[in-house]
Amino acid sequence: MPTVNDVCQHVRSKNAGPFWVTFDLFFDGDENFKKYATSPSLGPDLFNRLFGADAATVKAFPVPSLNMVKISYGRSSPQGGEVERDMHCGQQFVRLLDVELDAVS
Better pLDDT: 24 or 90: 24
pTM score? 0.90
* 57-96 per-position pLDDT tens digit: 999 999 999 999 999 999 877 777 666 666 678 888 999 9
Smallest CA-to-CA distance from 27 within 67, 70, 72, 71 is with: 67
Task: Answer whether residue 49 shows pLDDT above 80.
Answer: yes
Give mean pLDDT, residues 24-48.
97
Alpha carbons within 13 angstroms on the beta-carbon side of residue 31 total 1
